Amino acid sequence: MDARAEVRDFLVSRRAKITPGEVGLTSYGIRRVPGLRREEVATLAGVSVDYYNRMERGDLTGVSDGVLDAIAGALRLDEAERMHLADLARASRAPHARGRRTPTRSTVRPSAEWIIEAMTGAAAFIVNNRQDILAANHLGRALFAPMFESGAPANMARFTYLDPRAREFFADWDRTAKECVAGLRAQAGHDPFDRDLSDLVGELSTRSPEFAALWASHNVRLHRKMEKRFNHPIVGELALRYERLEIAGDAGIEIFAYVAEPGSVSAETFPLLGNWTMDAPPDTSRAHRSAADHLGNP
């Protein structure tokens, strides 16, 4: 992925989403494309048209944080979109940015795995920035059994878009699919030179028209906490809350933990997954080894 192209496409996509009336402007003449014109964005941000045109070509050299904030305000960017624009700006300004390629993290410290093993009441996973599952506790493997049983290295995006069972497993597949793409898009903005992430996006874009269409939308969003509903093949319907926890010192690695709200119907059925796997406790390092093998790491 090219950092300047990402800047250009993101700004164009955000400009297309806003009508003149939404920002207090009067529309004159026939508009050949939806949304604001470049000169309108420039006026709203208080910069020259030539200056904004240079930005929209992906050239953010010398653009101050204040100007980026003004552009974000003119385009009515939300918090996630502002962070994404800032990430794109840093990437495009990086020395020798073109041609720089960074690998995806595919290993975790043993202590991180011990932590998720100790979370006996939660389905817990260790995930990298391209949504590979590097490790999972036994309840996590039981919850996402269809993904772990697929035979392929466990990857949330690949499962969501390429495994037919995902559409039944996720009670709201459309929302999950959009969140999945938005998360990958945000990571691509943070590091557009991540070779493994680029390879995954290329694979999914080629094999899934739905992914390709959503990827082209350039939508990003923050996922701090959320409820997700499942149709589990063993225990039926589940509504679970999840949290994302960063692992200090391990950039690009997070813990995802799914729990049931106390007193809910899911709180009664969720623990049954743990009982179901008690006779054959899963090997939590298997996903870790599979992901490492898939990425060509020792």
Q: What is the tens place of the pLDDT at every residue in 126-149?
A: 999 899 999 999 999 999 999 998
Q: How many other C-beta atoms can be found within 10 angstroms of the C-beta atom of residue 50? A: 10
Total count of domains within the chain: 2
Same domain as 118, residue 64? no
Do 189 and 78 lie in a common domain? no
Residue 104 forms part of a structural domain: no
Cα separation, 94 vs 32, in Å, equals 35
- 67, part of any domain: yes
Together in a domain, 18 and 134: no
Q: Show the CA angle centred on residue 159, arms to residues 5 and 83, nearest 5°.
A: 35
Rg (CA), the chain: 21
Structure confidence at residue 84 (pLDDT): 92
pTM above 0.95, yes or no: no
DSSP secondary structure of 91-109 = HHHSTT-TT--BPPP----
88 with 120, same domain?
Answer: no
Residues 283 and 162 in one domain: yes
Residues 84 and 124 in one domain: no
Whether 40 is covered by a domain: the verdict is yes
pLDDT attached to residue 292: 35
What CATH number has the domain bearing residue 37?
1.10.260.40
> Do 78 and 20 sit in the same domain of this protein?
yes
| 265 lies in some domain | yes
Residue 20: give the domain boundaries.
Answer: 3-93
Residue among 125, 201, 199, 191 nearest 157 (CA)? 201
Asked whether residue 153 falls in the same domain as residue 269, the answer is yes
Query: Which of 93, 125, 150 is at the close of a domain?
Result: 93
Q: Which residues in the chain come in under a pLDDT of 50?
A: 96, 278-298
Residue 55 burial (C-beta neighbours within 10 Å; 0-12, 13-18, 19+): buried
CATH of the domain at 287: 3.30.450.180
SS3 112: helix
Asked whether residue 27 falls in the same domain as residue 148, the answer is: no
Residue 289 and residue 142 in one domain: yes
Q: Give the per-residue pLDDT at 51.
A: 94
Which of 93, 126, 146 marks a domain boundary? 93
Contacts of 111 (CB under 8 A, 6+ apart): none
Three-point CA angle 70, 13, 5, nearest 5°:
90
Q: Is residue 210 part of a domain?
A: yes
Q: What pLDDT, on the 0 to 100 scale, is given for residue 139?
A: 94
Residue 21 in domain = yes
Domain final residue, candidates 67, 93, 119: 93
Would you call 290 helix, strand, or coil by DSSP?
helix
Q: E strands of the chain, at which residues?
A: 123-128, 133-136, 225-232, 236-246, 253-259
217, 248: one domain: yes
Q: Are 133 and 175 in contact (CB under 8 A)?
A: no
Q: Does 254 lie in the same domain as 146?
A: yes
